[in-house]
Amino acid sequence: MSTIVQFENVGLRYGLDSETLSDVSFSLHGGGFYFLTGASGAGKTSLLKLLYLAQRPSRGVIRLFGEDVVTLPRKRLPGFRRRIGVVFQDFRLVPHLSAYDNIALPLRLAGMEESEVDAPVAEMLGWVGLADRAQARPATLSGGEQQRVAIARAVIGRPEILIADEPTGNVDADMARRLITLFEALNRLGTTIVVATHDLPLIAQVADAQMMRLDKGRLADPTGSLRYPPRGPDAH
């Protein structure tokens, strides 16, 4: 499998504070399924921000799809971002857009013809069980429904990497199982999955997943090759 993400001695500092992430080095292979764990404040969301190009590191090298994205001109970032799907912890749905339009967003931004947008969006709405809520605004959706819209939006463009930050935080156990089943299905189609979570039962559901664990901004397993269940006293 080819390496599609590579972090080398990456550090991230916000302002003059101490480093949120220090000396983070790992590689992700195309088609892999990765869990990122760690206590609250360990730096999971910061690491994901670097991964989905919402932030540049203070130091180190990040290679995405074989290119150094730290020094990449910002006008080339959209092309990389379109290859990444993100499920944000707080969903980040566009509040004035309907569920339908939120899900259609990546397709429209990619320049897809309007006539070609309807079928995949309708399919995705049906798949996340929100076909009858297509025109609902996010404010009228429950937390779980919003999360499903966010997931549908993240996967509709068939991204090469899907990044999910605590995707099961607002859904019941049944929905969590369905989400993981979805992620596995996408993974089988070749999408690299990165899920930040501290939901150990969730991790246990994916047999072939690898796990990275962050502890106070440092990667506890720099090789990134830990498999579930992790061994040792640090295991969550």
Partner 1 sequence: MARADRQALAARSRLLPEGRVAGPMPWIIAVMMFLTILAAAAGLALDAGVRAMGSDLAGRATVQIVEADGEARAAASQRVLAALRGTSDVRSAQPVEQARLVEQLRPWLGEEAVDGDLPIPALIDIELRPGDADARIERVRRLLAGISAKARIEPHAAFLLPLAGLLSALGWLAIGLVALMAIATGAVVMLAARGAHDSHKGTIDILHLMGATDVQIARLFQRRIALDAAFGGALGFVVALLVLVTIGGRLAATGSDLLAGVRLPWTSWLLLLALPVGGVLLATLTARLTVLRALGRSL
CA–CA dist 210, 37 (Å, integer): 11
DSSP β-bridge partners for residue 37: 213
Residues with Cβ within 8 Å of 194's Cβ and at least 6 positions away in sequence, in order, are: 28, 34, 36, 48, 51, 161, 162, 163, 164
CB 80 → partner 1: shortest distance, Å?
A: 8
Binding segment toward partner 1, per CB under 8 A, in 25-33, 95-103, 127-135, 187-195: 95-103
**Where are any strands of DSSP class E within the chain?**
3-12, 21-29, 33-38, 59-64, 67-68, 84-87, 161-165, 192-196, 210-215, 218-219, 226-227
CB 54 → partner 1: shortest distance, Å?
A: 6
Q: Hey, what are 150's tokens?
A: 């966010």
Nearer to partner 1, 111 or 232 (CB): 111
- Write each residue from 97 to 126 as x if it is in contact with partner 1 (CB under 8 A), else as -, in one continuous string: x---x--xxx-xxx--xxx-x---------
Cβ 124 vs Cβ 99: under 8 Å: no
Nearer to partner 1, 20 or 37 (CB): 20
**Which residues, 34 to 93, sit near partner 1 by CB under 8 A?**
52-56, 74-75, 77-79, 81-82, 86, 92-93
Q: Hey, what are 135's tokens?
A: 């025109």
Nearer to partner 1, 55 or 205 (CB): 55
Residue 227 is a binding residue for partner 1 (CB under 8 A): no
CB 234 → partner 1: shortest distance, Å?
A: 32
Nearer to partner 1, 162 or 176 (CB): 162
Number of neighbouring beta carbons within 10 Å of residue 25: 15
Angle (deg, nearest 10), helices 114-127 and 143-155: 130
Nearer to partner 1, 39 or 94 (CB): 94
- Interface residues with partner 1 (CB under 8 A) are 52-56, 74-75, 77-79, 81-82, 86, 92-97, 101, 104-106, 108-110, 113-115, 117, 153
